[in-house]
């Protein structure tokens, strides 16, 4: 499936500081971030789009289906045993034939990486948003890079391992406070920051559910919230299903997340997510 392309020289979604994300948030509707994993081992679709032609075609399809942002990752950050870290060179070799081509499709591209070196390369090749699943608390150069380039950054909560004894929402709030202090010290503008509670990362399934149920508690930070519940393991604890069978649970989680204040949802199944959000909005507007 092809999609009409915008200017090939300077795509609207490429670069532009905070402008691409601010324009989208100003639409005052939930945004859909489409997931593009160019990895062999992601928990849900590892290997499906590891070939460049497949990955680019999938990005085109997601844009045609209504994706507002394409989030590209080249290292699995899945919160499961068996995740194998990759070198920066390997990560870049996976991104090189894909990311610039996706940038040329004209929607903002975010780079899902924990390495500042990979993030810098991606920004140099047109990525518009940084997505750090360790919330500026792993690579000290990530915050400096975001400040230097003046681009939006997604700060996600994470833990090395789940602890069922803790209040996960309090833990997320504390993590965000630390990350925001790092951001401020680096000179990142508050309006550049999106917060992500990290559904499924360093959490028990019950804690992931709690994070969505209590999402309003993060509004005190005054920042947009992103929720990525797509195909996550907590769905399997409610109804036993394999990752690619979790579309109904993913839609339910994202609809409730939006009701609870999420501005962005990160999804594998873009067409279905867009339809669900639009129908829900139509029903709300009719009341």
Among 78, 120, 203, 232, the active-site one is: 232
Cα Rg, the chain, nearest whole Å: 17
Whether residue 3 lies inside any domain: the answer is: no
115 is catalytic: no
Read off the pLDDT of residues 165-178 as tens digits, 9 standing for 90 and up: 999 999 999 999 99
Whether residue 279 lies inside any domain: the answer is: yes
Q: Which DSSP string corresponds to 131-178?
A: EETTTTSS-HHHHHHHHHHT--EEEE---SS--TTS-HHHHHHHHHHH
Is 35 in contact with 4 (CB distance < 8 Å)?
A: no
pLDDT category at 12 given cuts 50, 70, 90 is very low
| Predicted confidence (pLDDT) at residue 179 exceeds the cutoff of 80 | yes
Whether residue 277 lies inside any domain: the answer is: yes
Tokens of 191: 């309006």
CATH number at residue 185: 3.20.20.20
Q: Which DSSP string corresponds to 201-266?
A: SSS-HHHHHHHHHTGGGGGGG-S-BEE--TT-HHHHHHS---GGG-HHHHHHHHHHHHHTT-SEEE
Q: Hey, which residues does 37 pair with through a beta bridge?
A: 73
Whether residue 7 lies inside any domain: the answer is: no
231 is catalytic: no
pLDDT category at 8 given cuts 50, 70, 90 is very low
Whether residue 9 lies inside any domain: the answer is: no
The per-residue pLDDT for 268 is 97
Mean pLDDT of the chain: 91
Whether residue 14 lies inside any domain: the answer is: no
The per-residue pLDDT for 285 is 95
The per-residue pLDDT for 39 is 84
Lowest average pLDDT, out of 77-91, 146-160, 202-216, goes to 77-91
* Number of domains observed in the structure of the chain: 1
Whether residue 64 lies inside any domain: the answer is: yes
Whether residue 6 lies inside any domain: the answer is: no
C-alpha to C-alpha distances, 97 to 56, 91, 92, 93, 103, nearest whole angstrom: 9, 11, 9, 8, 11
Read off the pLDDT of residues 249-279 as tens digits, 9 standing for 90 and up: 999 999 999 999 999 999 999 999 999 999 9
Please report where in the chains the tokens 């045609």 appear, as a residue: 64
Is 228 in contact with 257 (CB distance < 8 Å)?
A: no
Read off the pLDDT of residues 77-132 as tens digits, 9 standing for 90 and up: 655 455 567 899 999 999 999 999 999 999 999 999 999 999 999 999 999 999 99
In the chain, % of residues over pLDDT 90: 85
The per-residue pLDDT for 287 is 85
Q: Report how far residue 153's alpha carbon sits from residue 130's, in angstroms, rounded to the nearest whole number.
A: 5
Closest to 202 measured CA to CA, from 225, 243, 241, 234: 234
Domain range for 136:
19-286
């Amino acid at each position: 499936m092809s999609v009409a392309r915008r200017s090939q020289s300077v795509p609207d979604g490429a670069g532009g500081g905070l402008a691409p994300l601010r324009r989208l948030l100003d639409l005052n509707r939930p945004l859909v971030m489409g997931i593009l994993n160019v990895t062999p081992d992601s928990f849900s679709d590892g290997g499906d789009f590891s070939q460049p032609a497949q990955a680019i075609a999938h990005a085109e399809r997601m844009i045609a289906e209504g994706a507002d942002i394409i989030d590209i990752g080249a290292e699995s950050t899945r919160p499961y045993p068996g995740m194998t870290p990759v070198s920066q060179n390997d990560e870049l070799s996976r991104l090189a034939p894909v990311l610039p081509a996706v940038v040329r499709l004209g929607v903002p591209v975010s780079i899902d990486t924990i390495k500042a070196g990979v993030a810098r390369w991606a920004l140099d090749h047109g990525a518009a948003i940084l997505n750090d699943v360790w919330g500026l608390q792993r690579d000290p150069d990530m915050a400096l890079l975001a400040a230097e380039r003046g681009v939006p950054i997604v700060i996600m909560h994470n833990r090395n391992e789940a602890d069922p004894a803790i209040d996960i929402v309090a833990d997320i709030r504390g993590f965000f406070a630390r990350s925001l202090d790092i951001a401020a010290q680096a000179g990142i503008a508050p309006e550049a920051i999106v917060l992500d509670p990290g559904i499924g990362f360093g959490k028990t399934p019950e804690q992931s559910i709690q994070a969505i149920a209590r999402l309003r508690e993060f509004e005190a930070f005054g920042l947009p919230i992103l929720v990525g519940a797509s195909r996550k393991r907590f769905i399997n604890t409610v109804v036993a299903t394999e990752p690619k069978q979790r579309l109904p649970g993913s839609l339910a989680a994202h609809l409730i997340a939006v009701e609870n204040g999420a501005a962005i949802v990160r999804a594998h199944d873009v067409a279905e997510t867009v339809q669900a959000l639009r129908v829900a909005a139509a029903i709300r507007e009719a009341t």
